[in-house]
Amino acid sequence: MFSISSKYAIKAVLYLALYSDEDHKIMAKDISKSINVPQAYLAKLLQELSRRNIISSTRGPKGGFYLSDADRNQSLIAIVDVIDGVDKLKTCLLSIKNCNEKRPCPLHGLMAPSRLVFLNGLENKTLGELSADIKAGRSYLPFA
């Protein structure tokens, strides 16, 4: 479904959504410890996300990664797109080209409806909303 990289990235960004802001930047090292993901690898992912403007960062002392208010309006699809490429989620299950409603592959009917629901969720729910869910106890992001 998602690659390991995407999973790490999502966890890290949700962590940032929960605990960081402009005035509370967090070092890659600390995030990696908290969410239990290899340090150097996470750093690479966060750098890529920062470069693509999904998250924010500043270098030097007192620096680190954080989410700006604008960042919080992004959705998870943005993260997955940067790391895995969004096509992976949208292409035919059997990788048959021109698979569509008119000419569905044998698995199309099984998957298409549920996938649509899922993709809409990924696209529409913002990072801010997701972290609000966690803060309100509607969902849980355990760090192990």
What are the residues binding DNA (CB under 7 A)? 3-5, 8, 26-29, 38-41, 43-44, 46-47, 50-51, 57-65
Task: Report what 11 binds from DNA, a second copy, none; CB cut-off 5-8 Å by kind.
Answer: a second copy
Q: Give the span between the Cα atoms of 26 and 64, in whole angstroms.
A: 5
Q: H-helix or E-strand containing 64?
A: strand 64-66
d(CA 100, CA 105): 8
Q: Which two tokens stand for residue 50?
A: 């920062």
CB atoms closer than 10 angstroms to residue 127 = 24
4-63 residues in contact with a second copy (CB under 8 A) are 4, 7, 10-11, 14
Per CB under 8 A, residues contacting a second copy are 1-2, 4, 7, 10-11, 14, 76, 88, 93-99, 103-111, 113-115, 117-118, 121-122, 125, 130, 133-134, 139-142, 144
